[in-house]
Amino acid sequence: MAQPRVAANSNTQEPVGRVQGLPFHFWTPNTTSFMKIGDMVAAGPTYSQEAPYQNMIMEILKPYFPTQATIPGGDIWALDRESYRGPANAPSTIKPDGLVIRIRPLNATSSQNTKRDFLWVEVKPASHNTPGGWKDLLGETATRLISAHPTRTVFVLLVVGVRYMVMIWDGGNSMAPNPVPTIIHPATAPFTPWPIDNRFKFPMVVAYYNQVSGIINTRAAASLDSETVYPAGQKPPGRGNLDVLRYEADLATLEQFLITIQQMPLAGNNPGHFF
């Protein structure tokens, strides 16, 4: 069994694969994101209220998307909860749990700007962490993206409890197709596959998606747990005497994903009624 560590334990190594040069990471002790992750881990696998998980993930995103430009007229980022993304005549029909929006000023002194959704976030509580729960979340997300971004590319972060998956919504189907239609296997026989919208693409190598078979294994979804360490005798070799976080690869993967989003030149802008 993995064992928890005490918050701010100085005997724990930083995750291998973390992005270098950042002032802090979302798993750094004594940050709001670290505390909120710990709260939701402690809430347990049957907790069924969604809002605390929404708050958790928005805190995780904050360090990576600055709200003040580093140069006059430079890009800035908005982290919105439940912004309207429906059609112009009925915008309130679609409200994603979270959005990361690039704001590009038209000049250095005016509030006039263009906007572009970069990251679409959908969240469910830990009680939905089942194959069926993930299937429903993917289906709901696809339905919303088909309306909001039918031909645009948008990064996607799905969170169920303290588990997550990252992917890309390829609205225009311009990327290379997945090897076979993406499916999820239920946890019990007869393992009837559930088809998932093939515009969800998985460009990163991740444990929960098989690049050959196309199967999404929901039980291998990545973890946000920032405190559990490997027990004695099970630590990866060559890591010395300090504790090693059990889910360090998952933490580093999410950080790399978020940093990559900042640097991607996604084409086009949001419609004018997407505020």
Q: What is the pLDDT of residues 239-251, one digit of tens each?
A: 777 888 999 999 9
For residue 162, count other CB atoms closer than 10 A to its CB: 26
Interatomic CA distance for residues 105 and 107, integer angstroms: 5
Residues contacting 10, CB < 8 A, separation 6+:
none
The string of pLDDT tens digits covering residues 141-177 is: 999 999 999 999 999 999 999 999 999 999 998 888 7
Taking the domains of the chain in order of start, what are their residue ranges? 41-87+101-262
pTM for the whole thing?
0.91
pLDDT at 208 over 80: yes
Is omega for the bond preceding 190 within 30 degrees of 0, making it cis? Answer: yes
H helices present in 158-247, as ranges: none
Q: What is the pLDDT of residue 5?
A: 43
Sign of the dihedral defined by the CA atoms of residues 61, 218, 155, 84, in that order: negative
Query: Cβ distance 25 to 37 under 8 Å?
Result: no
Residue 89: HSE in the Cβ half-sphere, 13 Å Cα cutoff: 0
The string of pLDDT tens digits covering residues 56-115 is: 999 999 999 998 888 888 899 999 998 999 888 877 779 999 999 999 988 878 888 999
Instruction: Kindly list the distances between the CA atom of residue 266 and the CA atoms of 58, 117, 270, in Å, as whole numbers in the listed order.
Output: 22, 9, 11
Interatomic CA distance for residues 6 and 151, integer angstroms: 47
Query: Cβ distance 135 to 194 under 8 Å?
Result: yes
Q: What is the pLDDT of residue 3?
A: 44
